[in-house]
Amino acid sequence: MRTVFHEKLDELTGQLAKLCGQAGLSMKSATQALLDADLAAAEQVISDHDQMGALRATAEQAAFALLALQQPVAGDLRVVFSAIQIIGDVERMDALAVHVAKIARLRYPDHVVYGEVSDCFADMGRLAVELGESARQVLLTPDPAAAARLREEDNAMDDLYRRLFGLLMSPTWQHGVPAAVDTALLGRFYERFADHAVEVGRRVIFVATGTLPAEEDISTY
């Protein structure tokens, strides 16, 4: 009976990793839509969110079934409880990619970002994809040290966010108020994507150690 239970736990972990991978791919395509004014890419991200919803529902059902039918305790309970939390974080990561895609679609056929701002978003997009992949990997190989390194990638995203606002506040900004509003919103979407990836890492640390680290302490593991 315990063998079957742990097989189900492994399946659930695989589902979570798949969700992370999907979120990373969504942000990659959303960034392409943003930088290239690619309407097809934007539409694909938006429509694929329904698939993410279906994956989330399947993972949630599996987690709740383990709670109801197996009544896990100790470490196993931490795994299931954390899985439920992670499902929400990863779904939110995908939703943030959808927000990026919707702004790209709204402004089509015009580009949303230009020049140095475009370069900044290219860097933020690459980092977001790396964060999604890192989160996927730490779920598959639950190493608290690797999970803690997500904070370092998040710090890099925060640096880019500050750089972006430096461009917005510069007296040389020439793109007008609507573009500034779009840029500020988009920057927030990428920054929050990174924050949710860090939350995945915190939950992996909790599973491994039994202690949920404070957000500022995650890099010490």
**Six-digit token string for 85:** 């939390």
pLDDT score at 215 = 67
CATH topology of domain 2-220: Methane Monooxygenase Hydroxylase; Chain G, domain 1 (1.20.58)
> CA–CA separation, 125 vs 22, rounded Å?
15
By CB neighbour count within 10 A (0-12 exposed, 13-18 middle, 19+ buried), where does 172 fall?
A: exposed
- The per-residue pLDDT for 57 is 92
Q: What is the pLDDT along the chain (221 residues), one digit of tens a residue?
A: 567 777 888 899 999 999 999 999 999 999 999 999 999 999 999 999 998 889 889 999 998 888 887 776 777 888 888 999 999 999 999 999 999 999 999 999 999 998 889 999 999 999 999 999 999 999 998 888 899 889 889 999 999 999 999 999 999 888 889 899 999 999 999 999 999 999 999 999 998 888 877 766 554 44
